[in-house]
Amino acid sequence: MENDEADLTEFVTDYFTYALQISASPLAAGYLGCVLTHEGPWNYGSTYIATMTPRGTLVLHGKDILLSGGVVDSTMLQTVSAAASAAQVGSPFDFMGDDGYAVTYFNPDGSSAFLTAGLDIRESHLVEDAVAPAPAPAVTARDVMDRKSLKAFVNGALDYLVELYETEGYDATLRVKRIFRDTTGHWRHGPTYLFVMDLTGYTFFHGAFPEKYELQAPTETLRDAVTDSLILPQIIAAAASSEEGGFVTYNFDNPDDDTDSADIPKVTFARQYEVTFTLPDGNPASLTAIVGAGIYETRVTSVEPVDGEIPTAFALDQNYPNPFNPSTTIEFALDRAQTITLTVHDILGRQVRVLADGVQPAGRYIVSFDGSGLAGGTYLYVLRTEQNVSAKKMTLLK
C-alpha cells in the first residue's frame, strides 16, 4: 500500500483471508490485536486498520490505541457508514482528500461494527461524547489500602460495567475506557487501576499501560521475579477459584515506576463474569470476562484511630522505633476533618511510598510502615493537610 503496489480493496480482502485462516485458534484474538497495533504487515506508515461501532465509538485503532473508546465526529461516521453499506464487501471512499475503505464488521459480542483501512483517524476527529461518569463508587482507587478495599473496588467496577452493558450495550462499555483511565477520576490512582481480559489472557482493557498490554495476550511473558512462574495464569485461576473471585500475590518490578522493585510484593484481586450475546448468524454465544485490579503489598497501609478524643491541634509525632528494621509506627493528630497525604521520601526528596491519601475525620491516628524493599538510610515522612505540612526524619537499618 505505501509503495502504491496495491489498493485498499486488496489490502482489506487479504486481511480478512488471513484472519479467517487463524480464527479457529483460541489465541487468535490476542494475536490479531497484537499485529494490528504494532508495525508490520497490517500496520505500516499511514496504512492501518481501525474498527468502530455504528455509533462511531472506536473499538480498535491500529496506530494509537489510546484513542479507543473515543467517538468520531458525525461527518467521518457518515462517510464510513455509507461506504460500508454500499456493497456487501464494502467500498472505497474519499474523506477530505484521504483515501479509505470501509466494510461491515462485528464486535466481540456479535454486535455490528465497521472496519476501515487507509483512513487516518486523529484526536481532532473525536467529539466529547463519553459515558457520563457514574456517582463515586463506595470504594474508589484512591481508597484502596488493603485486600478488603481492593476487593470492594473491583466488585464496584464490575457492577458498573454489567449495568452499562445491560442498559446501553457494548458501545457504552467501550466509551467508559476513557473514564477508567482518568488519573483524576474514581478508577485509577497510583498502582491501582482496572484491567479486563478473557480466559486466555487477551486484554480488552488496561487502565495504566494500554500501549503495552491492551489487545494482546501477554500470558507467556510476565513472570514472578522470585519463583519465575507465569503471573497471568495465576490471576486467571484466582478469578475462577470461586464465585466471589480470588487474590494472587507475586513479585514483579513495574518498569514504569521508579520507586518500585521486585522486592515489593504485588497483590491482585480478580473476578470473572459471563457475558451472553447473539452472533450475527443468530446463534447464542458467551464470553467469560475477567475484571481485576492490584496494589503494592507494602503500600497496603492501615490508618487506625488511636482513641475517641479530638485533638486540639494538628501534630505529627516521631516514629517509633527509630532506627527501625523493617517496620516502624507513625502517629499523627488532626483537630478537624480534612484531606491528608502521608508520604515517605528518600534523602534526595524523591517520593518512595504513599502511606495515606484521602479525607480523615478529626482524631488521633496510628500508621504502620514496612520498609522492606528499600535501601538502608535516612528517610523523611511528610504529613500534608489543607493548611499544614510537617516532616520528620527516620532511619532504616539494613
All three cell numbers of 396: 532504616
Determine the Cα–Cα distance for residues 160 and 136; give it in Å rounded to an integer: 11
Written as tens digits, the pLDDT of the chain (398 aa) is 888 898 999 999 999 999 999 988 888 888 888 899 999 999 998 899 999 999 999 999 999 999 999 999 999 999 999 999 999 899 999 999 889 999 999 888 888 999 999 999 999 999 987 566 667 899 999 888 788 889 999 999 999 999 989 888 899 899 899 899 988 889 998 889 999 999 999 999 999 989 888 988 888 888 888 788 899 999 999 999 989 999 988 888 887 777 777 777 888 999 999 988 887 778 888 889 999 999 886 554 567 777 778 899 999 999 999 999 888 999 999 999 998 999 899 898 888 787 887 788 899 999 988 887 678 899 999 999 989 999 999 999 98
CB of 154 closer than 8 Å to CB of 246? no
CB of 113 closer than 8 Å to CB of 52? yes
Buried/exposed 39-49: b ≥16 CB within 10 Å, e otherwise = eeebeeeebbb
pLDDT at 97: 87
CB of 318 closer than 8 Å to CB of 392? yes
Q: Strand, coil or helix: what is 22?
A: helix
Domains delineated in the chain: 8-127 (3.30.450), 141-299 (3.30.450.20), 303-396 (2.60.40.1930)
The residue type found at 92 is P
CB of 273 closer than 8 Å to CB of 158? yes
Cα–Cα distances in angstroms (integers) from residue 363 to residues 306, 308, 312, 336, 390, in the given order: 8, 7, 9, 7, 17
All three cell numbers of 329: 509506627
Determine the Cα–Cα distance for residues 76 and 123; give it in Å rounded to an integer: 13
- pLDDT tens readout for residues 68-100: 999 999 999 999 999 999 998 999 999 998 899
Q: Please tell me what DSSP assigns to residue 175.
A: H
Determine the Cα–Cα distance for residues 272 and 370; give it in Å rounded to an integer: 32
Determine the Cα–Cα distance for residues 305 and 331; give it in Å rounded to an integer: 10
pLDDT at 117: 95
Cα–Cα distances in angstroms (integers) from residue 275 to residues 169, 191, 198, 238, in the given order: 11, 28, 11, 19
Pick from 301, 286, 294, 387: nearest CA to 344: 301
Buried/exposed 304-338: b ≥16 CB within 10 Å, e otherwise = eeeeeeebeebebeebeeeebeeebebebbbeeee
CB of 307 closer than 8 Å to CB of 319? no
Pick from 291, 220, 210, 202: nearest CA to 37: 210
Pick from 101, 87, 9, 1: nearest CA to 43: 1
Kind plus residue range of the DSSP H or E element containing 329: strand 327-334
- pLDDT tens readout for residues 334-371: 999 998 999 899 898 888 787 887 788 899 999 988 88
Q: Which residue has the cell 467500498?
A: 91
